Amino acid sequence: MNTLDVSGILGSLFGPLFAILIIGLLLMSGIALALWFVKAKKSAGGQAEQSKYEYGRKEFFMSRAEHKCYDALVAAVGDKYYIFPQAHLPSIVENRVKGQSWRGARSHIDRKSVDYVLCDKEYIAPKLAIELDDRSHERPDRKERDEEVERVLQEAGLPLLRLENPGYFNPRELAEKIYQKL
């Protein structure tokens, strides 16, 4: 009795074709996996993503100069105004202006801040932005940033007081400068 060797017939017919198919599938899978891996490891800035970042508490909220200036501001006008340090622009200016993309406008100011904002005590409404200028404000990129912050605040109708850092702040002189701007 002759038995039909099915595995031999299939092996001889599909052997080379099957091998090419398997190699092709393995190559495509490898390429797809490599592309997925590269995409998963890149974020918007081209930096590797981490599933968990680690953080630690800062020792100080403000630099020494910012702290000295803050204390002088409190002595100068703390009885009439709340003083908020390191205020981000979206917290103090309105970006939802009719006729413009509010998302684009928000994105434009999202990472910009001023050193202090004086707000009235009745409504906590922003009345004056204050920038404490140190040597970093002399860099070309920082000058460009400062000009844009000034433009945004001026357009929003919020005055800006720029202060040089003399190392010591006289509360009386500071109060005069503030009231001249208000």
Tokens (6 digits) for 179: 């009231």
The residue extents of the domains of the chain are 1-55, 64-181
Residues 6-35: tens digit of each pLDDT: 555 555 656 666 667 677 777 777 787 777
**Of 3.40.50, 3.90.1570, 1.20.1270, 3.90.1720, which CATH number belongs to 64-181?**
3.90.1570
Cα–Cα dist 147/139, whole Å: 12
Query: Which residue type does 14 have?
Result: F
Task: Provide the 8-state DSSP code for 48.
Answer: B
pLDDT of 3: 58
Question: pTM of the entire structure?
Answer: 0.69
Query: Which residue type does 57 have?
Result: R
Cα–Cα dist 110/97, whole Å: 15
Place of tokens 């800062």: 58
Number of helices (H), then strands (E), belonging to the chain: the values are 6, 4
pLDDT of 176: 97
State the 10-residue block means of pLDDT for the chain, 182 residues long: 55 64 75 73 56 91 94 97 97 89 90 96 97 84 92 97 92 97 94
- Residue 114 three-state SS: strand
